[in-house]
């Protein structure tokens, strides 16, 4: 919905204009005629600071426009004012952008901040649980890049337990566990994780290619 995205993008300035109109009306006609304008201004301005423009980021991320996503993040002046679930998403996106820029130290810091904000019940709780799983998977990947294999395995197993948002993430998690098991020479467990990854039939080119490349060597493994 383009109109909603436009509203979110300019919500703060709409709120400022409404506030100025409310003050003008208040001076000219009194408080009650200006009440609705004050209320709308408050909703717009508060909405900008406690919800933010995070809705706009989804489109940029889907298009792979990291620069556009970064500009949206940079427009959030006071992330500490964002409500808890939105703040968690904010740090998740920052972590993803850091990973895309290979700034792994900053990525780890931001992903851990996001993790610390997760939790809750109900529908939002289920969504946050999936986000928690995706975050733990990314932290596991970061740990593996630093050759911290024990920590990486712990994070990835925790990600699977928490639940992942789609089969692509699940397949990636199982492939990482497969590699870890082979490294530990636990070939039977490694083969089982590979079978689980393959059974998910991921379509992401990178993951699908990884499965094809691993399949021949997996079949030659003992166990």
Q: Which fold has domain 65-220?
A: 1.25.40
Integer-rounded Cα radius of gyration of the chain: 23
pLDDT at residue 122 in the model: 45
Contacts of 116 (CB under 8 A, 6+ apart): none
pLDDT beyond 80 at 1 = no
SS3 call for 6: helix
Taking only the tens place, the pLDDT of each residue in 79-110 is 999 999 899 989 988 998 898 888 989 999 99
What is the mean pLDDT of the segment spanning 173-187? 94
**DSSP character at residue 77:** S
Q: CA-to-CA distance for 83 and 32, rounded, in angstroms?
A: 31
Looking at per-residue confidence, does 181 or 219 come out higher?
A: 181
Give mean pLDDT, residues 160-166.
Answer: 89
Position 170 pLDDT exceeds 90? yes
- Asked if residues 116 and 140 have their Cβ atoms less than 8 Å apart, the reply is no
pTM for this predicted structure: 0.77
Q: Is the pLDDT score of 43 beyond 60?
A: yes
Query: Which pLDDT belongs to residue 40?
Result: 97
User: Which own/partner contact pairs does 177-184 have at CB distance under 8 Å and 24+ positions apart?
Assistant: 177/153, 178/214, 178/218, 180/144, 180/149, 180/152, 180/153, 180/156, 182/221, 183/149
pLDDT for residue 124? 46
Domain ranges for the chain: 1-50, 65-220
pLDDT at 121 over 60: no
Neighbours of 82 (CB within 10 A): 20
Q: What is the pLDDT of residue 123?
A: 40
State how far the alpha carbon of 219 is from the alpha carbons of 62, 179, 223, in Å.
Answer: 36, 14, 10
């Amino acid at each position: 919905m383009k109109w909603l995205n436009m509203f979110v993008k300019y919500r703060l300035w709409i709120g400022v204009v409404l506030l100025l109109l409310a003050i003008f009306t208040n001076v000219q006609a009194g408080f009650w005629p200006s009440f609705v304008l004050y209320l709308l201004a408050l909703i717009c301005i508060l909405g900008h600071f406690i919800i933010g423009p995070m809705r706009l980021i989804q489109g940029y991320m889907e298009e792979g426009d990291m620069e556009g996503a970064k500009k949206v993040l940079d427009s959030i002046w006071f992330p500490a004012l964002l409500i808890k679930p939105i703040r968690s998403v904010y740090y998740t996106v920052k972590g993803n952008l850091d990973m895309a820029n290979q700034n792994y130290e900053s990525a780890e810091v931001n992903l851990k901040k996001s993790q610390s904000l997760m939790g809750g019940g109900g529908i939002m709780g289920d969504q946050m649980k999936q986000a928690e799983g995706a975050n733990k998977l990314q932290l596991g990947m970061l740990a593996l890049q630093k050759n911290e294999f024990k920590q990486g395995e712990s994070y990835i197993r925790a990600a699977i337990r928490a639940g992942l948002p789609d089969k692509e993430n699940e397949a990636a998690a199982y492939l990482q566990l497969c590699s870890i098991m082979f490294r530990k020479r636990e070939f039977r467990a490694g083969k089982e994780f590979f079978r689980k990854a393959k059974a998910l039939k991921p379509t992401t080119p990178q993951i699908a290619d990884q499965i094809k490349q691993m399949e021949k060597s997996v079949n030659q493994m003992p166990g």
